[in-house]
Amino acid sequence: MKRFLALIVTALLATASAAQADSIHPVDDAGTLRGGESRTYAATFYGGQPAIVAALGDGVGDLDVRVYDLSGRLVAEDIDLTSYCFVEWAPRLTGRYLIVVRNHGRLATDFAIRSN
């Protein structure tokens, strides 16, 4: 299931836009989040270029994604009640960002997360 989710997220990022610039250190992970658990990733994105993060769960949990700059300011979020998250923003400057994916459900959920 994790491999399937990773393939879907890869396809979503590939079709988002052919003009998207890659980050310096993209996120590429799959795993399981217990109910209420979160995982934090760090990625560096280029200033002035679109940045994309996509996360996809197995449909059991409610996944949310929030992206923060190193000053702790929220720069993008997808916090709806689904297990699919997609955020896009254009960083003003090249820098590192913290990406937090959280399972708000009570049950464990398999997920995959990728960035450009």
3-state secondary structure of 65: strand
Instruction: Indicate if the alpha-carbon torsion angle 77, 70, 41, 15 is positive or negative.
Output: positive
* Cβ-based neighbours of 112, under 8 Å, separated by 6 or more: 2, 5, 6, 8, 9, 29, 30, 55, 56
pLDDT of 24 reads: 67
pLDDT of 60 reads: 86
3-state secondary structure of 11: helix
pLDDT of 34 reads: 96
pLDDT of 1 reads: 57
Segments in the chain below pLDDT 70: 1-24
How far is C-alpha 69 from the chain's CA centre?
14
CA angle 62, 79, 84 (to 5 degrees): 55
- The secondary structure element, H or E, covering residue 72 is none
Instruction: Please give the CATH topology (third level) of the domain spanning 2-115.
Output: Jelly Rolls (2.60.120)
pLDDT of 82 reads: 94
The Cα 100–Cα 102 span in angstroms is 6
Which tens digits make up the pLDDT trace of 35-50? 999 999 999 999 999 9
